Amino acid sequence: MPTISLTLGFDQLGLSPKVFAKVSALKFQSPTPIQSGAVPIALKGVDVIGIAQTGTGKTLAFSLPMLERLRPTEFGLVLAPTRELAMQIEETLHKLGVSTALIIGGASINQQVHALRARPQVVVATPGRLIDHMDRRSVNLRHAGIVVLDEADRMLDMGFAPAIRRILAATPPRRQTMMFSATMPPEVRKLSEEFMEDPETVEVTPAGTPVERIQQEVTYIPHANKPEALNYLLEEHAGTVLVFARTRHGARKVAKALRTANHSACEIHSDRTMAQRKDALTGFKSGRYRVMVATDIAARGIDVKEIELVVNYDLPDNPEDYVHRIGRTGRAGHSGRAITLATPEQAKEVRAIERVLKQAIPVTNPDAAPPAPVVHMPRAFPARNARQNFVFQSQRSARSCRRG
């Protein structure tokens, strides 16, 4: 499969005047590399594999060809791994004037049936809830002319492979299929071989490459010092902050502690209802909440511009998820910062992340870090007495932990 790399303006992508006018009305300045590469190919009607990191404009890369190519008797189908990502995709389609049906768990299934009966141009769904509608026979996929798998690697990681195969088998054999993914593991490649016909590949960045504008660092501290460290980071940054916890219990605990400390904080994890998750995301976007605490359910499902800081309060279970987490900042041409709080015992996990990045993560307090077979580049925090005292205490505590 060839790799395509193009840099064009929106007026050079082959869009019709009608669709180009919609893009212009949204004030998009110029297409991103994945849009420049994928849109002209998709307009030809061939199958497309798009490989690009999160935050690179993949939604518009498949939405524009859908607008151009869908026939009146067809509808488009977009599959996404999480409710949050599905909601973001639907929001973009609405801005383009597309009628949609949002088929996700946690929402009224009867309202979704009504939306499907209205014959939307595009159905945006999570695999599990779409299977529910297939079992109820409230959706017929025989008229799905274009099918998109967004964040395909994430869907397979979440165990949706059987559901995806069943869904694709129910769609017309002569459809256009587009698959977008941040990485291309063997499982995704196998799926493409099963359900795609001679796809053309658009790869704009190597798998695992972080956004260049993100300033990364890791701080080694004992686990007990993390709440204090997080509070200092929130004092140090005035903008929006996204905090990642490993478990839903951890996310709930961190969010509660932040609210107790008078921070405007919300939380997103699987224990929250759909209404609570929607309120959190809307409030975070609008600025009603300055801090959002989330599990990896939000690593690819949050598209909020100008997030100043991402804090990895806990390391991710999967090293590849680190890239998706930090990709929530440094978006749309803005710079960003990502700080990881790791215990000295987690040095091996940090090195696993560095292997994915193919680079070392600078260490804020190198004296507290365990010996590692990588060269770290220490970077001092801003010269604030409280901050310096905290770092000094963290180093001393870490050394005490090692002696104990």
Structure tokens at 343: 């215990």
Q: Is residue 49 within 8 Å of 201, Cβ to Cβ? A: yes
C-alpha distances (whole Å) from 343 to each of 92, 231, 236, 266, 287 are 40, 17, 21, 25, 31
The model's pLDDT over 16-60, given as tens digits with 9 standing for 90+, comes to: 999 999 999 988 878 988 999 999 999 999 999 999 876 678 899
pLDDT confidence of residue 368:
66
Map residue 71 onto helix, strand or coil.
Answer: coil
As a whole number, mean pLDDT of residues 317-341 equals 83
Query: What percentage of residues in the chain have a pLDDT greater than 90?
Result: 60
Mean pLDDT within 242-262: 94
For domain 214-403, the CATH architecture is: 3-Layer(aba) Sandwich (3.40)
The beta-strand segments (E) located in 182-335 are 200-203, 214-220, 241-244, 265-268, 291-294, 309-312
DSSP-based three-state secondary structure for 296:
helix
Question: Could you give the CA distance from residue 71 to residue 146 in angstroms, rounded to a whole number?
Answer: 10
Q: Quick one: pLDDT at residue 383?
A: 40
Specify the CATH number for 3-203; select among 3.40.50.720, 3.30.70.1090, 2.60.40.10, 3.40.50.300: 3.40.50.300
* CATH 3.40.50.300 domain range(s) in the chain: 3-203, 214-403
pLDDT tens, residue by residue, 361-404: 999 876 666 655 444 444 444 444 444 444 444 444 444 444 44
Q: Say if residue 228's pLDDT is above 60.
A: yes
pTM score over 0.75: no
How high is the pLDDT of residue 19?
A: 94
* Residue 2 pLDDT exceeds 90: no
Q: Any long-range contacts for 194-200 (C-beta under 8 Å, 24+ apart)?
A: 194/165, 195/165, 195/168, 196/47, 196/49, 197/47, 198/46, 198/47, 199/1, 199/46, 199/47, 199/48, 199/49, 200/1, 200/2, 200/4, 200/41, 200/46, 200/47, 200/48, 200/49
pLDDT tens figures, 172-184: 999 999 999 877 8
Return d(Cα 306, Cα 15) in angstroms, integer.
29
pLDDT tops 70 at residue 8: no
Query: Which one, of 77, 73, 135, lies nearest residue 103 by Cα?
Result: 77
**What is the DSSP-derived secondary structure letter of residue 77?**
E
Please list the residues that pair with 293 across neighbouring strands: 243, 267
Q: Residue 282: its pLDDT value, please?
A: 87
CA-nearest of 56, 98, 95, 57 to 75 is 98
